Structure 1
Amino acid sequence: MGSARKAGETNTALGAVILEAGRSHAALARKVNELAALQSVITRYDKASVTRWLQGMTPRDRAPEFIAAALADFLGRPIAPVDLGFPEQQQRPVVARALTYCEDVGETLHTLAELGSTDISRRSLLGATPFVATALMDPQRQWLLWLLEDDQAPRLAAVADGGPAEQVQAMIEMFDEMDNRFGGGGVRASIVHYLSTQLAPMLQQRNLPAHQRRPLYTAAAKMAATAGWCSYDTADYGLAERYMIQALRLCAEGGDRVLGGQILAGMSHLATSLGNPAEGVSLARAGIATAKSSGSPLGLMRLHAMAARGYAALGNTRQATASLHAAGKSLDASRGPVEESPWVRFLDHHYLEAEAALVHRDLGEATPAERLANASVEANSDRRRRQAISRSVLATAYLQQDRLDEAVDAATNALDQLSGVHSERSVQALRDFRARLAPHRGEPIVRDFELRARPVLGAAA
């Protein structure tokens, strides 16, 4: 823990950690800017900025969080701003607790209820919930230990018929439908409110019969994971991480390995998308270990696809290709949705096409990326978020083949698709494409697109 430092004093704690990391001031500044951009915060720090921090200046707003996250990434261990000599920021205790996979599930329920209540009120929470990649390590380890120790857990758990879990399942289906049609932003507040004011208190009742408790924990885990996905969709990445961690703990109490694998898939997606693909691969592999014993080929398919996404972001073509092949084999092994857990029945070959298109895009393999993105666009006419993302991937595939007019046309269609959809994931996919347009910004068609896109995507960096 860093010692207290008066304003203007040389920041020796920061200097020591930078020295330990062995990175230049310019490299640290670049990493801070990258991490901030991933959370939709524009910073323009350089090596002179780092010098000022070392001389005692405390950067404004969320910068100390991003500096700590950058150094944590370099060193592979958790680091807090206070460890770097920055003033300790006032945080609600729940923000820290929600990053913990608690052994006491009662504490998990209390944390979820408080997190949801604070989230809904929005009082001072959002500015104090950074995404912390290293915080995903312990939940992953705790889950794998549970997996090894709990031989009694059902391999392919079914949603209970009757009882409170059936009511919760009906709510889950309604929320999923709204999420798919309009994006997570349109339904997130309702999910969080139901989770924290109805579902968590339901599980805290002492007179709940034992045969109803386990399926209810599973349903609550799914609801918490959905809150995480919807937070991800609104760019509340720190909240998404916290809901997913709590969901994984509830899932262990429910004992559903299929759902556990899917929660790990969500964590993997989040980590890879926020610039931590090595952790994304690790989480996907933990999910694969879970899904292999679950009797769910579709669940396994998705996890292999997430591993492929991580490997592609790392530039590991061989492993990414092998993971896509494994995903295809798992898909072929499935006997159809009716033979699968309700948690994975939405997965099919169209899902794999969309994910594979992203993998090929990141590997620079434009021809298969174009083919698969086109197939995803055609197959998802009623899912506007997926349409928008796949059209953005298609635009990049065209651009990688120097087909600028077609690229901009596809991106414009993606932009139109976003009307009425509250999905930061779709927006980020288009921002990725716009960034790739930088070498062509002198072209009139590109200038026109950037002008039209600015109200939705914000100003280009």
Structure 2
Amino acid sequence: MARERNERLAALLEEACWSRAQAAASYNRVAAETLNGEVRENSKIGRSHVSMWVGGVQPTGVAPAILCQALSRRLKREITAQEAGFTTSISPRPGVLDWRVDPLIALNDLGSSVDTDRRRLLAGGVYSAAALILPDEAWWDTMLRPPAEEPSTGKRVGHGDVDTVRELTLAFSRMDQRRGGGHGRRAVDEYLKHEVRDFLRGRFVDEATRRGMFSAAAELAYASGWMAFDNSEHAIALLRFNTAVKLAARSGDAPLSGHVLRAMAHQALDLGFRREALQIARVSVHGERYAAATPRERALLGVVHARTLAANGHKPQAAQALLRAEDDLSNAHDGIREPSRTFFFGEASLAHETACTLRDLGDHQGAVKEFRRSVRTRGAAFRRTHAVTLGYMGATQIAQGSVEEACATWSSVLDAMEDGIYSGRARQRVVDMRHLLSPYRKRGIPAVGVLDARAASYLAQVD
């Protein structure tokens, strides 16, 4: 009996503009991120696998979860097993994010290693919508109260220890902005698991020090999460953000909780979970998370909220949120002490996020103008961020039909990438570049041929 062709999967591949080989390559990238070298059934596939699945063979092992995740990232919306025409269901709930797990236990699990985290996320459906469900308001009140069994013995922890953790966090965050999240994240995790965990179990000189140390630990866990996100290790990033939110809640630092939730919303939006991103962003600007934040941090929270509104088609609300973010940033000045975690957020970053919002609202001309402002005002310090901005700007230019202008912009992206940037997000801009150039390859445009060959050579070296 002949198998029935999987028309649903075929339609999704066509919508993604993927050949069988391209689908297999994207599948393998997601599998490598999730499995971290662990050999499972269908942990690596070729184009023949995709052809068989389109032909009606049902994928087995990890394949349904991995392929749906790859398609979700490509199409910027969640693709379920049923939508892909698979009879296998993917349950996203077991072992995903358990908000009840104590943050100190989560820190202890960091080093058992990343493999455990990856397997746990895979078993729960990789990066799913269910993983993005936040706890209710009662949870925040519960987390603020330290457990009765908190140890009263251990090393003495003072204000200087808090400063040490904050200084290390800032150093790694600056490196991420310059060189990408592929540098040093495992070193951050080791420090979190050992030194920071010992600090959190120590004897604090006073309550302010206890809160300060939990807040500092939350910032470092956030930095680890952001580095993983930037390096396209999305399952790991989600776990680190989860730990950071718990630590921030335990410290009573509401604005820091909002800051981490803002990052979670950013990641969800990048991966195509638009509705979930908006829900998380709304929580990030709710109550004291926004009201108690400094002007610069309110601007950062607000502009990501604006992006999620735009991505969900809420044009008037997105415009209002952008204006509010601009007002908040204009109120930031030298007389106001801002948290170090906002060191990167200024005019250039606001312009970048504003450009992304305008792009999602369909205003390509306005988006290019803001991307240019971001590039002009950032300077040379934040090279990885600069490369991502240029990548987005080139994509927006080519959407306007400015092919040669886009090629010039993208050439600058490759200049930066070839100078030692290790960033999955920046690398993805090069992948997208080649995809967007494909309709122009046979038109005899010299700039297209030169850039495409250069991009292909770069990807061959890093893959």
Determine which of 283, 295, 302 is the counterpart of 1:286: 283
- Equivalent runs, 1:213-292 vs 2, <5 Å: 213-289=210-286, 290-292=288-290
Answer yes or no: is 1:117 the counterpart of 2:117: no
**Is the 1:373–1:394 Cα contact (8 Å) retained in structure 2?**
yes
Deviation at 1:361, TM superposition (A): 2.7
1:237-260 deviation line (CA, Å, top 9, x unaligned)? 100011101110111001111111
TM superposition shift of 1:315: 4.3
Structure 1 residues 306 and 145, CA, compared in 2 at 3 Å: closer, same or farther?
farther
1:452 has 2:454 as partner: yes
Whether the 8 Å CA contact 2:68–2:79 is kept in 1: the answer is no
Aligned equivalent of 1:49: 53
Moved over 6 A (4+): 28-36, 42-48, 68-72, 120-129, 148-153
Separation in 1 of the partners of 2:341 and 2:277?
21
**Whole-angstrom CA distance in 2 between matches of 1:116 and 1:150:** 24
Identity %: 26
Q: Kindly indicate whether the alpha-carbon contact (under 8 Å) linking 2:356 and 2:367 is maintained by their aligned counterparts in 1.
A: yes
Matched with 1:64 is 65
Moved more, 262-271 or 423-432: 423-432
Hey, what does 1:367 align to over in structure 2? 365
The AA in structure 1 aligned to 2:357 is: V
Distance 2:443 2:162 in 1: 57
Kindly report the root-mean-square deviation, in angstroms, between the aligned alpha carbons of the 2 structures: 4.1
C-alpha separation between the residues in 2 aligned to 1:410 and 1:39? 29
**How many angstroms apart in 1 are the aligned matches of 2:229 and 2:404?**
32
Q: 2:193 aligns with which of 173, 191, 196?
A: 196
Alignment match, 2:393: 394
Whole-Å Cα distance in 2 between the matches of residues 68 and 123 of structure 1? 14
Q: 1:125-183, CA deviations, whole angstroms, 9 ceiling, x for partnerless residues?
A: 8977822232111xx234x4445778999xxxxxx982421111121122122222211
**What per-residue deviation string (whole Å, max 9, x for no partner) do you get for residues 83-122 of structure 1?**
9368x9xxxxxx97562212x53xx212222233302899
Q: Which amino acid aligns with 1:402?
A: G
| 2:261/2:280 contact within 8 Å kept | yes
Partner in structure 2 of residue 428 of structure 1:
428
Structure 1 position 131 matched with structure 2 position 127: yes
Instruction: Give the whole-Å Cα distance in 2 for the aligned partners of 1:306 and 1:83.
Output: 37
Tell which deviates more after alignment, 426-435 or 67-76.
Answer: 67-76
Which residue in 1 is equivalent to 2:402?
A: 403
Q: Evaluate the alpha carbon distance shift between residue 298 and residue 43 of structure 1 in structure 2; reply closer, same or farther with a 3 A threshold.
A: farther
Amino acid at match of 2:238: E
Q: Give how far 1:345 is off.
A: 4.0
Contact 1:35 / 1:70 at 8 angstroms: preserved in 2? no
In the superposition, the TM-score normalised over structure 2's length comes to: 0.76
Tell me by how many angstroms 1:25 deviates. Answer: 5.5
Matched residue, 2:38: none
Q: Is the 8 A contact 1:25 1:46 kept in 2?
A: no
User: In the TM superposition, what whole-angstrom CA distance separates every residue of 1:356-412 from its partner, at most 9, and x where no partner exists?
Assistant: 122223333222222211121122221101211121222223323322111101101
Distance 2:426 2:68 in 1: 27
**Range moving further from structure 2, 109-118 or 163-172:** 109-118
Matches within 5 A, 1:164-203: 164-203=161-200
Contact 1:29/1:50 (<8 A) preserved: no
* Cα contact 1:366–1:401 (8 A) shared by 2: yes
- Structure 1 residues without counterparts, runs of 5 or longer: 1-9, 11-17, 77-81, 89-94, 154-159
Length, aligned pairs only: 414
- How many Å apart are 1:299 and its aligned residue? 1.8
**Structure 1 residue 186 displacement after superposition:** 1.1
- Assess, with a 3 A threshold, how the Cα gap between structure 1 residues 112 and 335 changes in structure 2: closer, same or farther: same
Match of 1:350 in 2: 348
CA distance in structure 1 between the partners assigned to 2:214 and 2:144 by the alignment: 18
Distance 1:442 1:27, change over 3 A: closer
Pairwise CA distance, 1:63: 3.4
Q: Aligned equivalents of 2:283 and 2:117: distance in 1?
A: 33
State how far apart, in whole Å, the 1-side matches of 2:309 and 2:52 are.
34
| Amino acid corresponding to residue 349 of structure 1 in structure 2 | E
CA distance in 2: counterparts of 1:174 and 1:200, whole angstroms: 19
Deviates more, 1:123-132 or 1:349-358: 123-132
1:141 correspondence with 2:135 = yes
Q: Is the 8 A contact 1:68 1:84 kept in 2?
A: no
